[in-house]
Structure 1
């Protein structure tokens, strides 16, 4: 049992880790036994046959024994599971700390609070990075731009755990809630990527000169709403609902018919 691990064994494990410059979890049992002045078999016998109680005792002493992903990664994974299962409203730092097996002060240090954790979650599971990658190397044809953007959006909405749908659900239900705050904070980055990309297409005469925010809504809104509703309507509609691949093409064609300007070959050279 963890409570039965003597203090001298914990100290021996920490000393062996310091000597090697590594985490306790990476120190062989033989080295820990030597630091404690014991044989390997004696050490394991005193630990009940496994080193797990020793690692737990080290953790209880306030030291992360290591051998696990960093706290940030564990917390992000735990938060994603909680959001996917219960929504943003159920996401508390206490719940994340328990699921990630870390302390509450550590979470505050890493994320500077709950909003910081949500910002990190949105960056990882939201469209910001995809938009920035697309804007950094945009396709020449507007058709290819729309297709790449839609395919990235579909992946984000379908990816488990469903963090992005949960964020949007919170936005719709609570305009002043945490989801809305995160969305507002990231809006400048999204506009900074997608806005110039679309503005360049407008300047080139490929898209109608609509206000950029409305052009973005026309581009993203229909598919985003569809992907939010699809898990609900798909079991009801069955085969009447086109596959996702076909749906992406339908929405892409609809956007281009509405927003794209005809080229010379399409308008008779006018």
Structure 2
């Protein structure tokens, strides 16, 4: 279709064409694409106001785009939230790390803890906001949706690696979900409370690196098995 035919079908003006392109998620002002701006805006909304505040209307206002352009880009709120979780949760980082070459059990555990700690402090603070809502409103539909999307990937990524370590005789054979929770829960709770602790008991607050190392060592002491005779872990 020629440009002149397209203009004619849209009302015969460049303004009509520009409006149609904006509605389709194309930004004509040299800014980031609508998809990027919407993910960033939704992440900031979750961090500052909670998961339940994420609506297309609020995201469009924050991202300076139209609601129709969000529907064109994402199809619906669920797909937008999935994109936000992919961007700001540690799952993608953990999957990429475990898919590549990594060290022995101890080195791998320490690196995984660093990834989790980094994710908890990454701005916007999507993961801490999500965890706070779990404690406040565990039955909320938005919270349920988040964990319905995050839990299977956590089991497939971190869970598969832990299961392989169990099969190799390097980790105690514990129920997989409990093993994952034993690994991540203490560290996540520490970082969730860290901002408040820094205000009311700053003299007791360790550095982030020290906290990561302590929790990694504690997990290894709890679950790591001694190497078999003549073998190395």
TM superposition score normalised by structure 2 = 0.84
Structure 1 unaligned spans of 5+: 1-13, 19-53, 266-270
Q: 1:11-54 CA distances to partner (integer Å, 9 max, x unpaired)?
A: xxx98xx9xxxxxxxxxxxxxxxxxxxxxxxxxxxxxxxxxxx9
- Pick which of 182-191 and 249-258 moved more: 182-191
Q: 1:42-71 CA distances to partner (integer Å, 9 max, x unpaired)?
A: xxxxxxxxxxxx9xx679844432411111
Q: RMSD of the TM alignment (CA)?
A: 2.4
Please say if 1:183 is aligned against 2:147.
yes
Report what 2:10 is aligned to. Answer: none
Q: 1:150-203 CA distances to partner (integer Å, 9 max, x unpaired)?
A: 111111110111111111122222223213311222211111111221111112
2:53 to 61, 66, 90: 90
Structure 2 unaligned spans of 5+: 8-13, 23-27
**Partner SS, residue 198 of structure 1:** helix
Report what 2:168 is aligned to. Answer: 204
CA separation of 1:77 and 1:58: change in aligned 2, threshold 3 A: farther
Report what 1:254 is aligned to. Answer: 218
**Partner SS, residue 160 of structure 1:** coil
2:200 to 197, 212, 236: 236
Q: 1:88-133 CA distances to partner (integer Å, 9 max, x unpaired)?
A: 1222110111111211111122222222211111111112212211
Equivalent-residue separation in structure 2 for 1:223 and 1:188 (angstroms): 20
* Deviation (angstroms), 1:239: 2.2
Equivalent-residue separation in structure 1 for 2:184 and 2:29 (angstroms): 43
Report what 1:10 is aligned to. Answer: none
Report 1 or 2 for greater relative contact order, CA contacts < 8 Å, sequence distance ≥ 6: 2
- Pick which of 221-230 and 61-70 moved more: 61-70
**Partner SS, residue 144 of structure 2:** helix
**Partner SS, residue 145 of structure 1:** helix
Report what 1:121 is aligned to. Answer: 84
CA separation of 1:192 and 1:179: change in aligned 2, threshold 3 A: same
1:99 to 50, 62, 69: 62
Structure with higher Rg: it is 1
Please say if 1:72 is aligned against 2:25.
no
* Count of matched residue pairs: 215
Report what 2:126 is aligned to. Answer: 163
Equivalent-residue separation in structure 2 for 1:58 and 1:245 (angstroms): 55
**Partner SS, residue 214 of structure 1:** helix
Report what 1:154 is aligned to. Answer: 117
Q: Is the 8 A contact 1:87 1:166 kept in 2?
A: yes
* Deviation (angstroms), 1:140: 3.6
Report what 1:6 is aligned to. Answer: none
**Partner SS, residue 169 of structure 1:** helix
TM superposition score normalised by structure 1 = 0.73
* Deviation (angstroms), 1:248: 0.7
